[in-house]
Structure 1
């Protein structure tokens, strides 16, 4: 995927400082989107549904903390999948994972006042939330820096098996949904946070990201005629 995006002139290969600023901003915007989707209350992404469900099972622990625990588990599974290819630098992925956990808890607090009754309003908020989440993801991909452990695990399975990346990601998301539903049934009598919004999220986020790449390629990557600096491609 990244190779295609580099060919499209979207991924930033310039200033490292600028890329880190873009990456951190992307993490914040992504977690804001997740928080807004939770406030919509009609279903959230597979990963969020699992970590959110865990906050009901163990209410003393924040969702950000559970998200970080999940990232730790994924890093361990990445090692078990391909131990010979695992490098010490892979632990750097825990830095953005920690930032994501902190930003998530912050944004959940900032959006906790949102309470909507009308379904149309909830649906509109979810659509906006998915657009926000996708824009954060777009910024992170554009920065082209460190993979989160979850994404690292999916990429590792892709390298080990040669299966299609999209199929692996779909299978991974479905596994998280099954685990989330099972925990809900076991501890809470019913699954939680898995609704029509979960399907909407799965459809819209990918389409939004494609739209952002298209718009950036068409408008954002243009340079003035007198700009002789190096291209981002």
Structure 2
């Protein structure tokens, strides 16, 4: 999934909705996307604690090391691919689509292996549990809120919109569809 984030950044067409805020903030605070992703995970875990209170379970703390590894992987992969500069729009679209595919595979592996979710999905699950709203709706609205915050902060602090473009919309529409398709294919392998 970290490689999917890196590919979306290198496409220069906007990042995935959940990565749009750390990516935008990286231009404001001169910090790496990975470090800001880790900080966002910490905030999301704290929000889960506030929402769930006594229903917050110890295993949800596992989102912290997972988020730490995820953020460090983003930074390591960004460093390894720093020379990638794609200027041709058709190649940028191809890289954007490839980022969606890597992200979808990553999500499928997490689901199939029954691993700990990243803190974003953990927060959406907490909102779903607390307010009795479907997880799908929580994810959609949560992603929209993150994109909205990224756009507002970017426009206000940078006087331009950074990190949110057509690739963000492509990712929002395509990753979920790819996950559904791939999960059906994975069922054949009985992991």
TM-score (norm 2): 0.95
Q: Secondary structure, in 3 states, of the residue corresponding to 2:163?
A: coil
Structure with more of its chain in helix, by fraction: 2
- Residue in structure 2 matched with residue 175 of structure 1 by the alignment: 145
**Residue 84 of structure 2 is aligned with which of 108, 111, 114?**
114
1:215 aligns with 2:185: yes
Q: Deviations over 1:38-64 (max 9, x none)?
A: 1011111122111011110011x2111
**Separation in structure 2 between the aligned mates of residue 130 and residue 66 of structure 1, nearest angstrom:** 21
Q: Post-superposition shift, 1:145? A: 2.3
Alignment of 1:59-138 (within 5 A): 59=30, 61-138=31-108
Q: Deviations over 1:93-145 (max 9, x none)?
A: 10111110110101111222111221111111111111011111111111102
8 Å Cα contact 2:37/2:71 also seen in 1: yes
Aligned-residue Cα RMSD (Å) equals 1.3
1:47 aligns with 2:18: yes
- Residue in structure 2 matched with residue 58 of structure 1 by the alignment: 29
Which runs of 5 or more residues in structure 1 are unaligned?
Answer: 1-29, 222-231
1:143 aligns with 2:113: yes
8 Å Cα contact 1:50/1:176 also seen in 2: yes
Q: Which runs of 4+ in 1 moved over 2 A?
A: 87-90
8 Å Cα contact 2:15/2:23 also seen in 1: no
Q: Secondary structure, in 3 states, of the residue corresponding to 1:114?
A: coil
- Residue in structure 2 matched with residue 37 of structure 1 by the alignment: 8
Q: Post-superposition shift, 1:163? A: 1.4
8 Å Cα contact 2:11/2:92 also seen in 1: yes
TM-score (norm 1): 0.78
Structure with max Cα Rg: 1
**Separation in structure 1 between the aligned mates of residue 9 and residue 96 of structure 2, nearest angstrom:** 8
8 Å Cα contact 1:36/1:111 also seen in 2: no
Q: Secondary structure, in 3 states, of the residue corresponding to 1:82?
A: helix
Count the aligned residue pairs: 191
